Amino acid sequence: MTGKIVSINISEKKGIRKKPVDEAIISENSGIEGDAHASSTWHRQVSLLALESIKKMQAMGLDVKPGDFAENITTEGLDLLSLPIGTKMNIGDKVIGEVSQIGKECHSRCAIYYQAGDCVMPKEGIFIKILKGGSIKVGDNIEVL
């Protein structure tokens, strides 16, 4: 299964919409450099959400775009929810990630929920830990191994 990166998104603080960037450096066992979620102390180093999930929210009338759900990488062409924990993927030419969590529990409604009116990240987003770092850019392929 192969998809592609349609947006790379970062923010300096957690719980806010992320801003798109054209390319990024992903550090092994940490995450995207310059992003608030990058950390070697937990397994949710990089978050992924499918463009198809964002389009569902747009079809409900919400004015949302990639990064608005605080995902680091917006994908297209991958059924993220079908990937079991432990699945490895190549991102771009060098980065290797491993699915570490599917969805998440939101204990409180964050700024994203109030800004967007709903949030698909808890139900449809996935998280990966970074096994091998490198650089990525918009348009790069994501290959499930």
Three-state DSSP state, 63: coil
Greater confidence, 41 or 74?
A: 74
Mean pLDDT of 75-83: 95
Q: What percent of the chain is predicted at pLDDT more than 70?
A: 86
Residue 42's alpha-carbon distances to 7, 62, 101, 131, in angstroms, are 23, 32, 11, 13
Residue-range definition of the domain harbouring residue 28: 2-144
CATH number at residue 10: 2.40.33.20
Number of domains the chain contains: 1
Read off the pLDDT band of 44 (50, 70, 90): confident
> Taking 90 as the threshold, does the pLDDT of residue 59 lie above it?
no
Greater confidence, 66 or 122?
A: 66
Weakest-pLDDT range from 56-60, 76-80, 105-109: 105-109
